[in-house]
Amino acid sequence: MQERPEIHQAIAALQRLTELFTLRRQQLAGDAGLTESQWRLLEEIAAESFMPSMFARRRDCTPAAISRGLRGLLERGWVTVEIASGDARQRRYRLTAEGRRVLERLRRGRERAIAAVWQGFDVAALRGFVGFASELADHLEEYAKQGGAARRAERARARRAEV
């Protein structure tokens, strides 16, 4: 393969962006007095289709970790829980007025940050970025699918070889 230093420069820039987005999200959460994972939980509960087990699967974490996070939100008075009507095994989580205020503070802080950082870019630059980022994401998704298929095929070949 031909050496292309701009590829490695682009990867380094993307890594830097990822780290900075993570840092900024942590700062926003901290400014509102919560963790990033608590922020995610609040957002999910606000959507009113929250199911702890599904959330744990999507986030690739344990149900116990989600339960700990929910307990923290309950203790702070940001969330209430009740038994779902029709199925006593299910719990229905809702934001309290204070939970909605915390989420609104987060949204306002996020909007201020977006305005401060993104408003200075012209429309063409933003459209170019969106196009490139979308195409890059498509390539990464396709590569990940192919990688998963290749790993499955390799395991199947290894199993057949064992027999």
No. of helices (H) and no. of strands (E), the chain: 6, 2
Q: Does residue 16 register a pLDDT over 70?
A: yes
How do the domains of the chain map onto residue ranges?
5-120, 121-163
User: What percent of the chain shows pLDDT beyond 90?
Assistant: 55
Q: Dump pLDDT digits (tens) for 103-117.
A: 999 999 999 999 999
What per-residue string of b and e applies to 111-149 under the rule 16 or more CB within 10 Å gives b? eeeeeeeeeeeeeeeeeeeeeeeeeeeeeeeeeeeeeee
Q: Does residue 71 register a pLDDT over 80?
A: yes
Put simply, whether the predicted model's pTM sits higher than 0.85 gets the answer no
Task: Pick 5-120's CATH classification: 2.90.10.10, 1.10.10.10, 3.40.50.300, 3.30.70.1560.
Answer: 1.10.10.10
Q: Give the 3-state secondary structure of residue 82.
A: strand
pLDDT, the chain, mean:
88
Residue 143: its H or E element:
helix 123-162
